[in-house]
Structure 1
Amino acid sequence: MLASASPARRRLLEQAGIPHQVRVSGVDEDQIQHAEPVELVKLLAQAKAQAVAQRLDPSGDAEITAVLGCDSVLSFEGQVFGKPSGPVEAIERWQRMAGSCGSLLTGHCLIRRRQPEVLACVETLVRFAPLSQAEIEAYVASGEPLQCAGGFALEGRGGLCIDGLDGCYSNVIGLSLPWLRTVL
Structure 2
Amino acid sequence: MSDTPAAQPLVLASASPARLATLRAAGVEPEVIVSHVDEPAVEQAARAAYGELTPEDVALILARAKAEDVAPQADNAIVLGCDSVLEFDGEVHGKPGTAERATERWRRMRGQHGTLHSGHWLIDERDDGTGATFGVVASTVVHFADLTDDEIDAYVATGEPLYVAGGFTIDGLGGPYVERIEGDHHNVVGLSLPVLREMLAQIDIPWHRLLNR
Q: TM-score, normalised by structure 1?
A: 0.93
Partners of 1:32 and 1:40 within 8 A in 2? no
Identity fraction in percent:
48
Task: State how far apart, in whole Å, the 2-side matches of 1:36 and 1:54 are.
Answer: 29
Match of 2:65 in 1: 47
Choose the corresponding residue for 1:87, options 89, 99, 105.
99
Letter of the aligned partner of 1:13 in structure 2?
L
2:91 equivalent to 1:73:
no
Cα drift, residue 158 of structure 1: 0.5
Listed as ranges, the matches of 1:25-36 within 5 Å are 25-33=35-43, 34=47, 35-36=53-54
Who is 1:180 aligned against? 196
**Residue of 117, 122, 138 corresponding to 1:105:** 117
- Three-state SS of the structure 2 residue aligned to 1:2 is strand
CA distance in structure 1 between the partners assigned to 2:114 and 2:72 by the alignment: 35
Alignment of 1:145-156 (within 5 A): 145-156=161-172
Unmatched 5+ residue regions in structure 2? 1-10, 48-52, 201-213
Bigger CA drift: 80-89 or 107-116? 107-116
Name structure 1 gaps, 5 residues minimum: none
Select 2:30's aligned residue among 17, 20, 28. Answer: 20
Counterpart of 2:81 in 1: which secondary structure?
A: strand
Aligned to 2:146: 130
From 13, 18, 38, the equivalent of 2:56 is 38
Give the TM-score taking structure 2 as reference length.
0.81
User: Once the 2 structures are TM-superposed, how far is the Cα of residue 25 of structure 1 from its aligned partner?
Assistant: 1.1
Do the aligned partners of 2:97 and 2:163 also contact (CA within 8 Å) in 1?
no
Aligned counterpart for 1:169 among listed residues 168, 176, 185: 185
Matched pairs, number: 178
Deviation at 1:116, TM superposition (A): 2.0
1:7 matched residue in structure 2: 17
